[in-house]
Amino acid sequence: MPSLVGRTRNGNENRVAVELLIDTGRRPQEICQLRWDCLKQDADGQHVLIYDNYKANRHGRRLPISQATAGVITRQQELIRADFPSTPTDQLMLLPTRVANPHGRKPIAPGWLSGRHREWIRSLPEFLVPTRVELDGQPVTRMMPFDKSKIFLYAYRHTYCQRHADAGVAVDVLRALMDHRRLDTTQTYYRVTEERRCEAVDRVTEMQFDRHGRRIWRQAKELLDSEHARRAVGEVAVPYGVCTEPSNVAAGGHDCPVRFRCVGCGHFRTDISYLPDLEAYLADLLRNRERIAAALDADDWAKAEAMPSDEEIRRVRRLIKRVKDGLDDLDASQRAEVEEAVSVVRRGRQSVLLGMPRVRQPLPDLRPERPL
């Protein structure tokens, strides 16, 4: 933040304040009024920020913070202690103003910080972000200049909440982090992600593959509507994809008739968002093959039963290649759009612990003409 810091350390408080606003999501007044001794440790030795919620008249609030954020505060404490050595630490501010403040007891003002921050934002070069626009009647993603007017001090509080919401933090935990009394107040601070998730599902579903690595093409409206409906009622997740086998779906994913050999099952499908899972599964197959081959105290039939087959490994490798080839066919803007969609879908996907599959017992053959 070069413009927030002058040639001397006179602007250091501005920079530290903005870093803390970004990292903690507190209101500008709450950050400006931080005391020098605002950094504490909880019973587990983790760092917490002690601040006052002036809006709700709730003092001595405790916010868990990262080690990196604690490092920012620690460095600032050292600088302020050196600048005001005669002032007791319980009277010092963490971010003291440098104007008519010989003892470091007066904090910087939110209005002053806002003005310096606005000057800094205006001095920055234009930066481009992926933006959804319409070109020749078709929605496309283009790199467009970001509107700098949207970058202001209080916006960091909203982005703090949105980051945690996107990471899957439960709304009741978000409410505590934001120090709100009401849950509906917290919900106004982040965008409901269903629309984003639907848009992401649209993009990801366009790159869907069957077990042979063949791209699945269907009518877009039919496909996307079914995808949205399926996600609304829940999906049966299997390793690196989705299962549509009726009995397995009815059993919540616990009744796989082929022991999760999904790449050999016609009810399996995957998409670009599962690529990391496919690669991890291939690595696991290869490790298991080497481990089983090296096992000394096992009968041949046991090794053969447990050994991943060459055909399964070949199928997984081919599937990974087809998915990657589909990604390589995209231009830069399309790739950026798909990568953003993948990140949204993966964040919104709930992990499903499948456990050990239940293997169906064969039905008895009661035909009398067949010899026993």
Q: Are residues 225 and 316 in the same domain?
A: yes
Q: Are residues 145 and 288 in the same domain?
A: no
- Residue of 242, 272, 269 lying closest to 334 (CA atoms): 272
Task: Report yes or no on 60 lying in a domain.
Answer: yes
Q: Are residues 156 and 227 in the same domain?
A: no
Task: Report yes or no on 356 lying in a domain.
Answer: no
Task: Report yes or no on 357 lying in a domain.
Answer: no
Task: Report yes or no on 209 lying in a domain.
Answer: yes
Task: Report yes or no on 92 lying in a domain.
Answer: yes
Residue 57 has a CB neighbour count (10 Å cut-off) of: 7
Q: Are residues 6 and 88 in the same domain?
A: yes
Q: Are residues 213 and 319 in the same domain?
A: yes
Whether the Cβ atoms of residue 30 and residue 53 lie closer than 8 Å to each other: yes
Task: Report yes or no on 365 lying in a domain.
Answer: no
Encoding tokens for residue 364?
């008895």
Using only the alpha carbons of the chain, give its radius of gyration.
Answer: 28
Q: Are residues 209 and 83 in the same domain?
A: no
| Beta-ladder partners of 131 | 142
pLDDT of residue 331: 76
Q: Are residues 53 and 152 in the same domain?
A: no
pTM of the model: 0.56
pLDDT of residue 285: 86
Task: Report yes or no on 93 lying in a domain.
Answer: yes
Q: Are residues 296 and 336 in the same domain?
A: yes
Whether the Cβ atoms of residue 98 and residue 83 lie closer than 8 Å to each other: no
C-alpha–C-alpha distance, residues 312 and 262, integer Å: 9
Task: Report yes or no on 184 lying in a domain.
Answer: yes
What residues make up the domain containing 133?
Answer: 128-192
Q: What is the DSSP letter of 93?
A: B
C-alpha–C-alpha distance, residues 246 and 265, integer Å: 13
Residue 91 has a CB neighbour count (10 Å cut-off) of: 12
- Buried/exposed code over 286-314 (b: 16+ C-beta within 10 A; e: otherwise): eeebeebeeeeeeeeeeeeeebbeeebbe
Q: What are phi and psi of 221, to 5 degrees?
A: -65, -45
Q: Are residues 88 and 180 in the same domain?
A: no
Encoding tokens for residue 170?
């439960």
Examine the fold and report which residue of 192, 208, 226 is the final residue of a domain before the chain moves on.
192
pLDDT of residue 254: 67
Q: How far is CA 329 from the centre of its chain?
A: 26
Q: Are residues 213 and 339 in the same domain?
A: yes
Q: Are residues 200 and 339 in the same domain?
A: yes
Per the rule left: phi > 0, alpha: psi between -120 and 50, beta: everything else, 236 is: beta
Q: Are residues 253 and 325 in the same domain?
A: yes
In a structure prediction context, what are the per-residue pLDDT tens digits for the chain, which is 372 residues long? 444 544 344 468 999 999 999 999 999 999 999 999 999 998 878 999 999 999 999 999 999 999 999 999 999 999 999 999 999 999 999 999 999 999 999 999 999 999 999 999 999 999 888 887 878 877 787 888 999 999 999 999 999 998 888 777 778 889 999 999 998 899 888 875 555 555 655 566 566 666 666 665 444 344 444 444 444 333 566 767 777 776 766 666 666 776 667 777 777 777 777 888 888 888 888 888 888 887 767 777 877 777 888 888 888 888 888 878 877 777 777 777 777 777 766 765 543 333 333 333 444 443 334 343
- Give burial (CB, 10 Å; 0-12/13-18/19+) of 78: exposed
Examine the fold and report which residue of 123, 149, 180 is the final residue of a domain before the chain moves on.
123
Whether the Cβ atoms of residue 319 and residue 213 lie closer than 8 Å to each other: yes
User: How many independent structural domains does the chain possess?
Assistant: 3
Examine the fold and report which residue of 76, 106, 123 is the final residue of a domain before the chain moves on.
123
